[in-house]
Amino acid sequence: MELNEKLLSLVADIYDAALDDSRWPSTLRCIVDMAGGQSGGLVRIGAAGEAVIAHAVGVEPAYVQSYIETYEPFDPSRSVLHAPVGEIQTISDWIDVDEFRTTLFYNEWTRPQGLEDAANILLDKSAEGISRLSIMKAGGPVDRRMVQVIAHLTPHLQRAMVVRQKLQQQNALETISVRTLDALRTAVLLLDAEAHITHANAGARDILDEAEILRSVRGRLQTSDPNADRVLRQALAGTAVGDRAMTNASISLHLTARDGSHYVAHLLPLTAGRRQRLAASYDACAVLFVGKAALDTTVAPDLIRKLFKLTPAELRVFLSIVEIGGVPDVARSMGIAESTIKTHLARIFVKTGTKRQADLVRLMAAYTPPIRI
């Protein structure tokens, strides 16, 4: 009865370790002790074939290092990699014991530690890699009791490896999501039903720091415009309760800063398809995109110049039309005659396939990348 209670407690520890990798050393120590072993190691082999002792107990650091650097290829227990997942195997399953005792691995790595045998289990095998557990025994071969204890724990160890893999995949996805969101030029805020900010990318953090059009009050988003704030909260509430009018389309908000600059915000519900995965990762029901109503003329010009083969003078006129406006204003700004501006403009229209100055603004917008360069 006492053994069963200890096993149940250890099973709980195994699942705790699956959620918190820092718990593995103490959990592995308990597994080794309960099985009657001297030492143990959790070995992970990546997709590229490199072996890493993720956790080891009862083994001096120098032996851990020498195993990875020198002796791992000579370890007969590596054959467990070709065994069925979950099957317990010992040294004698791969090599005669007397022959094993003549090997370099036994005489230089196993014997100096007082070890004689090991129970090995392949815990998981996938495209991402392989995990195996080795519990080493001193004073003789692996006995029946050790096998029984390990057999009881093996299914739980296997599930723990699956949980760990799923968590790693989720963490990788979230890391990629964060990097992607931070790379966007547009400010992006993920919001829950009560307008709490569950994530803000780099652009959004800049806007929140300025507190001109958006600010965070105890983690809750507020806008500078009371009317826009009301519309935003109604939309979020509707998204959370499944109001079809709110969940099927985005809404747009116009915001004005104190200096008169204009911003446009778009609220998109995270209620369909792949959007739901992102929502679940961040406890959000909607994403708010916020951008200044202005063109970025730092990156697009080079693309436009190369694509449409504009001369330096034509590119300068192109940018001035986009940034300043009509021909008279551009002529004054550049200090040249209006007729010269018109001549350049006519050539620009031909090369870009446009007819009006407004078309040039749209062209610039089309080539303005959404990514922070």
Q: Is the pLDDT of residue 303 over 80?
A: no
Question: Do 102 and 251 have their domain in common?
Answer: no
Question: Do 318 and 358 have their domain in common?
Answer: yes
What is the pLDDT, as a whole number, of residue 278? Answer: 52
Residue 371 domain-assigned (yes or no): no
What is the pLDDT, as a whole number, of residue 1? Answer: 44
Question: Do 228 and 89 have their domain in common?
Answer: no
Separation CA 139–CA 369 (nearest Å): 68
What is the pLDDT, as a whole number, of residue 183? Answer: 60
Sort strands 220-223 and 214-217 into parallel, antiparallel or unpaired.
Answer: antiparallel
Host domain of residue 278? 184-292
Measure the CA angle with vertex 157, ends 156 and 159; round to 5°.
65
pLDDT digit string, tens, across residues 168-213 = 655 555 554 556 566 666 788 888 889 999 888 888 898 999 988 9
User: In sequence order, which ranges of the chain are alpha helices (DSSP H)?
Assistant: 2-19, 24-35, 61-66, 97-100, 104-105, 144-183, 202-210, 226-241, 244-247, 275-282, 300-308, 312-323, 327-334, 338-352, 357-366
Q: What is the CATH number of the domain that holds 315?
A: 1.10.10.10
Question: Do 44 and 188 have their domain in common?
Answer: no
Give the residue among 159, 157, 80, 152 at the shortest CA–CA distance from 121: 80
Number of domains comprising the chain? 3
| Residue 252 CA: distances (Å) to CA of 1, 57, 133, 225, 263 | 66, 58, 55, 13, 11
Give the residue among 16, 145, 126, 29 at the shortest CA–CA distance from 88: 145
Q: Is the pLDDT of residue 38 over 70?
A: yes
280, 235 contact by CB (below 8 A): no
Question: Do 161 and 215 have their domain in common?
Answer: no
pLDDT digit string, tens, across residues 57-80 = 999 999 999 988 898 888 888 888
**Overall pTM surpassing 0.75 (yes/no):** no
